[in-house]
C-alpha cells in the first residue's frame, strides 16, 4: 500500500510501482489543513490512482480535535493519525507493506533533528529502510535524483507551499543547516550514507549484545519484573543498561540515570512511568504494572465449593470428608469446615490485622510483623491478601501462613481444602 500525499516524492514512487508492474494500492490522508489546496491534493491523488489502476483509499481525520485532546502539535497529531489509519487499511485490505516515499535527504534531516533534540545511537541511524510493516523504497535515492526522474518522465505533482517556509524545524534544517554542511563537505550525502551504514551496524551489534544480557538477568515473579541490582551496578554504563530494560516500560533515559544513581541508596525508593512503578527493594529492582491497582476492594465468598479469581489471585475451595488425603504447603491449606461461618471475605491485608499463626500455640501476631519476618518486598506486601471468616477472624494470610484457630483436629468431621493456583 503506497502512502501518497500528492507531493513529488510519493508521486514518483507510485509511478515507479506502476511502471514496474508491482501490485499496489494508494492511500491518501486529507486533513483539510490547507483548505482548497487540500481538496485539490485529494482529487489529484484520486486521479493518479485511477490512471495507475490502483485501488484508492482516502480518509479525512479531525486532526485539530485530536491534537487538542492529546496535547500534541498539529504536525505530530497528523503523523499519528496517518500511520494509525495506514495500518488499519493494510490489515483490512490484506497488504503486506506500507510504503512511504522518504529518500536519503529525509533521512539526513531526521538524523540532524534527532541530534538537535538529544538522542542515542539508534537516533543517529536516520530513517530505517524497513520498520515493522513500513518500507521506504526510495531511500537509495536523493532529492535531486527524484526531481530529475520526474522531469525526464513528465510527471506532475502537487506543491505544498509550506515546504518553502521555515515554519517547521525540519524545513529550517533543510533550508539553512544542510547547505552550510554541504559547503564544508561537498560529498555530504555520500559521507552520510557511509556513516549511517556503520552506525546501523554498530547499533545492531549493541542491541543484540544487550538483548542477550537482558535475557540472562531479568526474571518475572508473581507478575512483577525483577532485576538483580548487582547485575547492573557491576557492569559498565549502568544507566544505559538500565534504560535498555526500562524503556519497554515507559521510562525515559533521564529516569534510568536517576535509578542508576540510587542503586546503592536506601531500599524502598520508587520511580514512576505512565504505566509502571519501579521499586528499589534490597537486592533487586522490581517493576509492577500500575493497572494492577484497579479492581474491587474485596470479594465475598458465599459457599464452600468455589473457584475464584480476584486481582489475579486464583483460589479454589473444595469440601472433603475428614480423613481425606491432602497435601499441605504454602499454597494449600485444609481447615475445619464446621468452624467457619459463611460468607467468607477475601481482601488485601491492612495495618492492624492480627491473627494466630499456625504452629505458635495460639499466640497472636500482627500480619505486618509476619510480612517483615518473611522479608516480603513492598510490592508483594501491597498484593498480600487475607481470607476472613464470617466473624472477621483471619483464616489464612494467603500463600504465607494459616491461622491456628481453624486447624484440623481429631474432632474434625469436614474439611475445607483451599488452594492457591
Residues flagged as binding site: 5-10
3-state secondary structure the chain: CEECCCCHHHHHHHHHHHHCCCCCCEEEECCCCCCHHHHHHHHHHHHHHHHHCCCEEEECCCHHHHHHHHCCCHHHHHHHHHHHHHHHHHHHHCCCCEECCCCHHHHHHHHHHHHHHCCCCHHHCCCCCEECCEECCCCCCCHHHHHHHHHHCCCCCCCCHHHHCCCCHHHHHHHHHHHHHHHHCCCHHHHHHHHHHHHHHHHHHHHHHHHHHHHHHCEEECCEEEEEHHHHHCCCCHHHHHHHHHHHHCCCHHHHHHHHHCCCCCCCCEEECCCEEEEEECCEEEEEEHHHHCCCCEEEECCCCEEEEECCEEEEEEEEECCCCCCCECCEEEEEHHHCCCCEEEEECCCCCEECECCCCCCCEEHHHHHHHCCCCHHHHHHCEEEECCCCCEEEECCCEEEHHHCCCCCCCEEEEEEEC
Residues of the binding site for ATP: 5-10
Amino acid at each position: 500500500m503506497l502512502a501518497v500525499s500528492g507531493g513529488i516524492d510519493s508521486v514518483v514512487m507510485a509511478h515507479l510501482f506502476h511502471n514496474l508492474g508491482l501490485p499496489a494500492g494508494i492511500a491518501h490522508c486529507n486533513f483539510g489543513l490547507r483548505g482548497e489546496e487540500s481538496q485539490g491534493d485529494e482529487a489529484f491523488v484520486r486521479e493518479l490512482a485511477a490512471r495507475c489502476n490502483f485501488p484508492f483509499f482516502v480518509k479525512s481525520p479531525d486532526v485539530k480535535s485530536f491534537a487538542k485532546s492529546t496535547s500534541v502539535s498539529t504536525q505530530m497529531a497528523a503523523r499519528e493519525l496517518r500511520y494509525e489509519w495506514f495500518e488499519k487499511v493494510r490489515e483490512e485490505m490484506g497488504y503486506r507493506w506500507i510504503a512511504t516515499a522518504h529518500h536519503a535527504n529525509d533521512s539526513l534531516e531526521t538524523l540532524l533533528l534527532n541530534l538537535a533534540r538529544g538522542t542515542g545511537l539508534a537516533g543517529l541511524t536516520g530513517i530505517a529502510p524497513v520498520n515493522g510493516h513500513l518500507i521506504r523504497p526510495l531511500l537509495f535515492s536523493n532529492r535531486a535524483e527524484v526531481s530529475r526522474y520526474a522531469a525526464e518522465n513528465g510527471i506532475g505533482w502537487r506543491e505544498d507551499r509550506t515546504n518553502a517556509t521555515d515554519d517547521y524545524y525540519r524545513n529550517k534544517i533543510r533550508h539553512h543547516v544542510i547547505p552550510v554542511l554541504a559547503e564544508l563537505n561537498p560529498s555530504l550525502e555520500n559521507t552520510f550514507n557511509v556513516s549511517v551504514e556503520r552506525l546501523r551496524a554498530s547499533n545492531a551489534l549493541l542491541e543484540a549484545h544487550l538483548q542477550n544480557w537482558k535475557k540472562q538477568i531479568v526474571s518475572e515473579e508473581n507478575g512483577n519484573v525483577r532485576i538483580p541490582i548487582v547485575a547492573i551496578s557491576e557492569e559498565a554504563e549502568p544507566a544505559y543498561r538500565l534504560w535498555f530494560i526500562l524503556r519497554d516500560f515507559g521510562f525515559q533515559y533521564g529516569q534510568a540515570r536517576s535509578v542508576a544513581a540510587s542503586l546503592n541508596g536506601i531500599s524502598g525508593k520508587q520511580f514512576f512511568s505512565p504505566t509502571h512503578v519501579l521499586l528499589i527493594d534490597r537486592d533487586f529492582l522490581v517493576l509492577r504494572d500500575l493497572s494492577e491497582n484497579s479492581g474491587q476492594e474485596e470479594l465475598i465468598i458465599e459457599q464452600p465449593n468455589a473457584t475464584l479469581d480476584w486481582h489475579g489471585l486464583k483460589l479454589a475451595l473444595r469440601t472433603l470428608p475428614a480423613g481425606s488425603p491432602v497435601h499441605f504447603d504454602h499454597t494449600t491449606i485444609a481447615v475445619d469446615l464446621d468452624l467457619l461461618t459463611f460468607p467468607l471475605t477475601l481482601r488485601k491485608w491492612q495495618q492492624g490485622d492480627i491473627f494466630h499463626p499456625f504452629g505458635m500455640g495460639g499466640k497472636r501476631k500482627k500480619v505486618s510483623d509476619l510480612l517483615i519476618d518473611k522479608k516480603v518486598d513492598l510490592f508483594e506486601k501491597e498484593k498480600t491478601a487475607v481470607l476472613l471468616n464470617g466473624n472477621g477472624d483471619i483464616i489464612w494470610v494467603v500463600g504465607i501462613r494459616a491461622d491456628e484457630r481453624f486447624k484440623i483436629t481429631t474432632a474434625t468431621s469436614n474439611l475445607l481444602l483451599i488452594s492457591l493456583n
